[in-house]
Chain A
């Protein structure tokens, strides 16, 4: 009822004679309709108006309405109708001929006809009528749908600027829409001036490039430059979608098609894949089979490399919905999918579903069916995957370690099979790691296999070196070192290892009184880079003294040592070495000499021996007289160096000589330079009394932080260990915060701690000693 009455009212309004309203109101209505683009109604009303109220005003309005109508017909693609209306307009209203002519030219350009407009241009250029030339250019800018038409027209001479500009614009546009250009490598557009009617085409081409690159900033900039009235601006909505600035939902059908083509048909493919997923989920096996059949063909046409991925995902989805897998046979066999591939899909699906044991079986079947077609590398990869699955399965079985399955699924079997199939680092490494972690002897045999398959691989050689060294097979270990050096002449492990092994060999032989063999080792030691270092001469001389052939040789060696270390130093070294060599039974008797520390040479001798012993991982035990002499010498030590201070600190720390360590660290803090953090660590370690715990803490925290910044992991770890000593009661009594509750030390805090400790008095402050009373100790506890 309501609809009918509304239609009636509308019809009634339309049929209302214009005379019923005043002419002025009718004219306003016509203008309003034109503004709103309702040109047909505007023409009807203007025509009625000319009948009821003839006159120039009404005719002008009718001309305006008809021109607008012709324009809207042309916009709708009805170019012939538009031209017919213009013919009618010219006949009926001769005074509108000029306007009609320009509109006709515009519509002709839009339809690809250029003869009239170019004739107009030629005439305007001949008359040098700039206004007309500008108008022609404006029409070309607004209506030209393809610059190539102007570029190829015979109506303009080849050297006409407009034709050259059009050719350049067409060429640039084509290049920009045909392939990617680097962001700063846009083709030069100097041939198309900014004021040219074809300039929008160059801008449009650049905008397309930006949209492909998803370069939003450039696209926005070009959008601002592109005139909205030019035809190329019509692609902007699509370009915004391509750049991700707008959703694809806003595109019309034609734009959507281009977008889909740009995206490689992704839109339609995505829709069909989702449909297939839904069909599988809802258990519609028949429909899903048809969809899958079509999709596999389409994917094969688009990108054959993706067909196996499609099949894998289809198999998984199919199995998840528990649809009968036989149905998929046709879909798979159509693409030449082999039986082994189906086992592969099956294994992957089972893995995803957590059926690890079944997956192991499926992988076995895959390997069996694939047979020799599978390259060894891929066999090894499958075996490695099986090893991972087996490890996960073993973890799941966990407590049930006596389960008979565990034997079957031991990852070692698969790792071994992988190394067998494709011997290389990627297969041997996990096998050796597993064997080593389990402490199995087979690791050495596997390393040997690896070495045989790849003699230049360092990892098995290093493993063999360490394992033979651990067994005490020093000669064998030295052979491995030779092999390592053949692969990498300057390998640090080999360089350090040779010295270490020869030294171990020499000491072993001295202990067993095999002095002639020990002498051979010592000679070999002298050939190593460390053996040639003058710092270590005293050590080798010491060994030579123990392994000397007779008294004459021993005396000569002693003389050489005396020249190097002095009588007192030689005595100290030989005694320390005797202690290190252990078995005194075969060791010659030490000469009876003055063992007192030499005044003035305590520091250099002790520092040197400390350096040598630390480098060998031996322990130096300085006698009490030497320590006392060192303490006395420290007060007058004016030019300390880090080279001497550091080993002395280390030795005194090991000896628990806290006062000497305090003094040494103080020197180090003053003269340590970039290594000051190490002396901060020693300073922290020197505080062991309860009343010094705050200082210990601040020193070690600062040392830890500075070592971290310097990348010295060892000192960092030592400082951290020192912060939380094996005396938890100290931490409890002093109410230390947990490590995670610490606030990090700032640069100022660190500078303050260093300055405070460096300038601290050399004499340590000690609390007044008094007899401890039970009452005092009880005060420490909160009860």
Chain B
């Protein structure tokens, strides 16, 4: 089971710099202000606290991610990263002949 990934919560890549993490945090707080969405804000804050900590990143780098214990788990990592395809594939799907 893949745990809540702080990178996904903040929407930053794993190699994001400290400045990028901070920008994502500020943007996230704008979207989930603590008074209107306390749960979302709490999630964001936990994710930001973890990514801010250089030991967290070094732990992952040195000892591997705790949520990955077998090769097939690796595919699960991609599930949290859905891609936005733009209109083309959807229009192709809508415009094709009947199923």
Contact = CB atoms under 8 A, between A and B. Distances in A.
A323 interface: no
Interface in B13-42: 13-15, 31
Contact of B59 (A180, A302, A381): A381
- Interface size range of chain B in the complex: 35 or more
Given A177-B86, A308-B61, A344-B62, A231 B74 contact: no
B79 A263 contact: yes
- Interface size range of chain A in the complex: 35 or more
B91 A146 contact: yes
Given A269-B75, A305-B15, A182 B87 contact: no
Contacts of A269: 74-75, 78
A398 interface: no
Given A177-B85, A264-B78, A378 B68 contact: no
A458 B31 CA distance: 38
Interface stretch (A160-168, A310-318, A582-590, A668-676): A310-318
A273 B84 contact: no
A265 B78 contact: yes
Contacts of B78: 263-266, 269, 302-303
A235 B84 contact: no
B64 A309 contact: yes
A258 B91 CA distance: 11
Contacts of A385: 62-63
A230 B84 CA distance: 23
Interface in B58-95: 58-59, 61-65, 68-79, 81-87, 89-95
A258 B82 contact: no
Given A235-B94, A377-B58, A264 B81 contact: yes
A277 interface: yes
Contact of B74 (A77, A252, A265, A310): A310
Contacts of B79: 263-264, 266
A276 B84 contact: no
A219 to B, nearest CB: 15
A515 B79 CA distance: 78
A174 B70 CA distance: 38
Contacts of A261: 83, 85, 89
Contact of B85 (A182, A231, A258, A344): A258
B52 to A, nearest CB: 15
A182 B75 contact: no
Interface in A301-357: 302-306, 308-310, 312-314, 317, 344, 348
A208 interface: yes
A743 interface: no
A375 B80 CA distance: 31
A294 interface: no
Contact of B82 (A255, A262, A273, A305): A262
Interface of B: 13-15, 31, 54-55, 58-59, 61-65, 68-79, 81-87, 89-99
Given A145-B91, A269-B74, A377-B54, 4 more contacts: A146-B95, A204-B94, A263-B79, A385-B63
13 contacts: A75-B98, A146-B95, A173-B87, A234-B93, A261-B83, A262-B82, A269-B74, A269-B78, A304-B15, A306-B14, A313-B70, A313-B71, A375-B58
Interface of A: 75-77, 145-146, 173-174, 177-180, 182, 204, 208, 212, 231-232, 234-235, 238, 252, 254-255, 257-258, 261-266, 269-270, 273-274, 276-277, 299, 302-306, 308-310, 312-314, 317, 344, 348, 375, 377-378, 381-382, 385, 426
Sorted nearest first, the 9 A-B pairs with minimum C-beta distance are A270-B75, A77-B97, A145-B95, A305-B14, A264-B78, A266-B78, A75-B98, A231-B94, A313-B71
